[in-house]
Structure 1
Amino acid sequence: MAEDRKSAAAEAERLREAERIALAEFAAVEAELDKRWPETQIEPSLDRIAALVDLLGDPQRAYPVVHVAGTNGKTSVVRMIDALLAETGLRTGRYTSPHLQRATERITLDGGPISPERYVEVYREIQPYVELVDARRAEGQPPLSKFEVLTAMAFAAFADAPVDVAVIETGLGGSWDSTNVADGAVSVITSIGVDHVEYLGADLAGIAKEKAGIIKRGSIAVMAAQDTEVAAVLLERCVELGVTVARQGMEFGVLRRDKAVGGQLLKLQGLGGAYEDVFLPLHGEHQAGNAAVALAAAEALLGVGANRQLDVDAVRSAFAGVTSPGRLERLRTAPAVLVDAAHNPHGTRALAAALADEFGFRRLIGVVAVLQEKDATGMLEALEPVLDEIVVTSNASPRALDVDELAGVAVQVFGADRVTVEPRLDDAVEQAVRMAEEVDEETGSLAGGGVVVTGSVVTVGEARTLFGKAMP
């Protein structure tokens, strides 16, 4: 007995040491990658990534691809498509960005992130080819960016697995996004709004044209509901290439949406018919729309249509198990603390609508930290009607907007009496919780308050870490 305990303890210690070494190697690789151009620094060209995947044998052509672009909702749609395809028995790979807490989240197999060990292994496998492309670049041209290397890693990992299908989210834009060296069998365009103005501009038609670049000849285009101006640009691209089009509100959509405990109950119109009693454990009308888009994309890939449906029970099971961390996610109760990764006015308007429609807080406190290049005024104006008070703060990103500058914007939008400043995120969350727990002066009872932490993916990732949440 004592010998067994001794052996078990030795094995546990061996596993801990192996994990420590793996995490140290992962950190070393991340440090190497962080020396490259970050995702916020763009040189619009596919030349570098095309050269890299060519040396790797074009792994992105080893499996069919569902390619997803748009301004908001991409990650949720990608996760839903992944779940639907997996439920039909396909082995899936999923590539998303940015990550909330650890870079391994970006590359998933069978619904879960690859391990730090595999992340390191894939990087080391492609590293000689990365260095070769860097060495061959023309004078004055940049080396491969971090995002380009990560994209190649995902393509290689999926080919090596191998997967039956890959669901790929663009990083920024479409035409010149690194992921666009893949030709999607299904091209999905989620809701388009204004974001990344420094690269895409503020003209909706121009943004739509850039994102429409993922639509390729021979593909099927699945489109979320769009402004008329945006829809016209997308349809023009489809007509030009002669691709089949499926549009939300026309060929598919949400037929009924009822609020339910922990989410919503939907009736969805797919390409092959209606799907009743679909429970989605996510909040907000925008997520119902995302579900309809994801269903149509999965049907399109699988050749469903003309009154032939996916198995209804499989669809229900897939949606019931969907998670979208950091998207109106509850981290604690009493008082409730929610996080949402909205990072532009378009996204914060959807967040505000969901908070007003589905949560009955008597008192709601916002904790907000944004990045420098974002439209802080537009975001705070969208949130002002649903927040009683706001705590402005910062996050660990070097691109975080100075807290005093953000406070100045908040005072203009909310008024000085509704704004509190806490430079550290942990202190800001703690302060907001105290404010949410204040006693109602009229009733003498707790005010039934809640807290929502938002403003950027970085902010939400750090909040999840504060509450001890690991990625599923």
Structure 2
Amino acid sequence: MDEQSVMHEFEQWLEQYLNFEKTPQKDALWLDTMRFLCAEFHQPQNAYKSIHTAGSKGKGSVSVLCASVLEEAGFNTGLYTSPHVSDIRERIGRASGFLSEAEYGRALKNFIPAADFLTAKKLEDKKPATWFELMTLFCFVCFRDCAMDWAVFETGLGGRLDSTNVLFPEISVLTLIELEHTEYLGNTLEQIASEKAGIIKPGIPVCCARQSPEVKAVFKNTAQKTGSPVFFLDEVIESLEYFPLSSKKEMYFGMTDETESTADKIQNGAVQKVRLVFKKPASENKAFFSRPLSFGLKLAGDFQAENAALAALVLKTVLPDLDEKVIEAGFEKAFLPARFEIASFRDKNGGGTVVIDGCHTPNSVRGTLKSFYSRFGSGCHLLFACAADKDVETLAHIIRLSDCAFSRITLTVPGGVKASDYEKTRKSFEAVFGAAFLCGSPDYEAEIRGALKHAENENKVLLAAGSFYLAAEVKKCLQTFG
């Protein structure tokens, strides 16, 4: 049995449990069951040091950046992220890729029988276990069995009642907060921030991205109540410069003698260059960083530069002696699927380029559009789909106001799993674009293939955006395109 089939067996077993990613439900978040399960499995989440990340935007990127650096430093490091795009193993692995067949198989061998036994007992008086709880529990067990030194965990939904919040990490991380999942987390930034701040643990340091004043106040207040040292990126950073890389000439632009060795390494896959300077402490305390950081990133956009800055702050907070060269090298290797992922496709008539991005919130869409324009300019093609619970009216306006000025827009649904409303999407786009540049249908397989073909025929770059579920379908189509 190969490693994909080992995890395929696990995925099939999980399907018997309620999956809120596919069928969201209100009042469906709790921790009692997770605490019970972790106790029955002898607290596997405590077998390694951990970093715990929550937020509305960027938590997956910050997590993979941290894990990549820890791996570069020589630590056996696990990485837990969600959702997966093409393969369930994307959720449980390392920054450098999947675990081995033996590692998945060893953990799975005893996990399923034990979990079956516990869930058959109805977890005593606890609420029934869910898909995400058992996925998270398996990750805890798998990382313990792999003898991880460190593990980096991204929350699923929220923070306070997320299944990962049984962790007692070395550090908590809070990325950018915006209005999202309001039906579950609250209708204001303060309410959502309060849910996310639920991952802050007594006495454990917390690092925060730049935040709006109302969110910052919530985080400061929570940290004060828990006695947790809190660091805000905007208060410790001096400068952050970034620019897209589209040629070797640009690749070396702005490099100083001290970082030319870094320039030599930015050869394969980097899409932007980042230079980062942290403030020197006002007191006589030793500075976190001995020099500015300069590195390439495969993760594109100004928001990814911000994510890297936050990850650097996190790493130096928990490992103050970590060498800056290790941080730079780790950042340069970090990658996540469907985060401005540039892919090529070919058939007998030629081929083209598609940028795949799972952006689905207003800020993430703005960031992706900005990165796309800076690299490919205007007049390209767009393939868009989003889930039914997204603010598609706002997203359509953001796309209309962007510099991208797409010459063709194809609308569809994000696959056959996630609930969607094609008519709502079409009407929202027609309201701001008119019908001239729009086409599409709910037949996502045909529309994806058609969008790729039109981009090829017109020699245009295609941006596929709006949902990780759409990203998965695009990647699947690329495997058989032609």
> TM-score range with shorter-chain normalisation?
0.7 to 0.9
Structure 2 SS opposite 1:181? coil
Q: Matches of residues 64-79 of structure 1 in structure 2 within 5 Å?
A: 64-79=49-64
Q: CA RMSD in A?
A: 2.3
Q: Is the 8 A contact 1:109 1:158 kept in 2?
A: no
Q: Cα distance 1:27–1:256, how it changes in 2: closer, same or farther (>3 A)?
A: closer
Tell me which amino acid in the other structure corresponds to 2:123: R
Residue equivalent to 2:15: 34
TM-score, structure 1 normalization:
0.86
- 1:335 shift after superposition: 4.0
- CA deviations on 1:24-78 (whole Å, 9 max, x unpaired) are 5543432221121103345221100100010111011111110000011111111
Mapped partners of 2:76, 2:361: distance in 1: 34
Mapped partners of 1:451, 1:360: distance in 2: 10
Structure 1 SS opposite 2:165? helix
Count residues in correspondence.
Answer: 435
Mapped partners of 2:37, 2:375: distance in 1: 48
- CA deviations on 1:279-328 (whole Å, 9 max, x unpaired) are 223221000001001111111121x1xxxx63232222112212122111
Q: Is the 8 A contact 1:48 1:144 kept in 2?
A: yes
Residue equivalent to 2:154: 169
Mapped partners of 1:27, 1:329: distance in 2: 25
Residue equivalent to 1:360: 376
- 1:257 shift after superposition: 2.0
Tell me which amino acid in the other structure corresponds to 1:239: Q
Mapped partners of 1:104, 1:430: distance in 2: 26
271, 277, 291: which is aligned to 2:294?
277
Residue equivalent to 2:271: 263
Q: Matches of residues 132-147 of structure 1 in structure 2 within 5 Å?
A: 132-134=117-119, 135-137=121-123, 142-147=127-132
Tell me which amino acid in the other structure corresponds to 2:241: R
381, 398, 401: which is aligned to 2:397?
381
- Percent identity over the alignment? 29
Residue equivalent to 2:438: 419
TM-score, structure 2 normalization:
0.84
Moved more, 175-184 or 239-248: 239-248
Residue equivalent to 2:261: none
Residue equivalent to 1:319: 331
Q: Matches of residues 344-359 of structure 1 in structure 2 within 5 Å?
A: 344-356=361-373, 358-359=374-375
Moved more, 110-119 or 402-411: 110-119
Q: Matches of residues 85-124 of structure 1 in structure 2 within 5 Å?
A: 85-109=70-94, 111-115=96-100, 118-119=103-104, 121-124=106-109
Moved more, 30-39 or 359-368: 359-368
Moved more, 220-229 or 397-406: 397-406
> Where in structure 2 are there 5+ consecutive unaligned residues?
247-269, 279-287, 346-350
Tell me which amino acid in the other structure corresponds to 1:256: E
Residue equivalent to 2:417: 398
- 1:468 shift after superposition: 2.9
Q: Cα distance 1:36–1:108, how it changes in 2: closer, same or farther (>3 A)?
A: same
Q: Is the 8 A contact 1:84 1:295 kept in 2?
A: no
Mapped partners of 2:236, 2:359: distance in 1: 28
Mapped partners of 1:257, 1:456: distance in 2: 26
- 1:83 shift after superposition: 0.8
Q: Cα distance 1:24–1:359, how it changes in 2: closer, same or farther (>3 A)?
A: closer
Structure 1 SS opposite 2:178? coil
Q: Matches of residues 329-340 of structure 1 in structure 2 within 5 Å?
A: 329-332=341-344, 335-340=352-357
> Where in structure 1 are there 5+ consecutive unaligned residues?
1-17, 440-445
- 1:243 shift after superposition: 1.2
Structure 1 SS opposite 2:370? helix
Structure 1 SS opposite 2:381? strand
Residue equivalent to 1:125: 110
Q: Is the 8 A contact 1:105 1:114 kept in 2?
A: no
Residue equivalent to 2:468: 457
Mapped partners of 1:111, 1:64: distance in 2: 19
Q: Is the 8 A contact 1:151 1:178 kept in 2?
A: yes
Q: Cα distance 1:342–1:254, how it changes in 2: closer, same or farther (>3 A)?
A: farther
Q: Cα distance 1:425–1:407, how it changes in 2: closer, same or farther (>3 A)?
A: same
- Note if 1:247 corresponds to 2:228: no
Q: Is the 8 A contact 2:103 2:145 kept in 1?
A: no
Moved more, 331-340 or 342-351: 331-340
Q: Is the 8 A contact 2:67 2:94 kept in 1?
A: no
Q: Cα distance 1:340–1:55, how it changes in 2: closer, same or farther (>3 A)?
A: same
Residue equivalent to 2:133: 148
Moved more, 247-256 or 293-302: 247-256
Structure 2 SS opposite 1:162? coil
Structure 1 SS opposite 2:386? coil
- 1:253 shift after superposition: 6.2
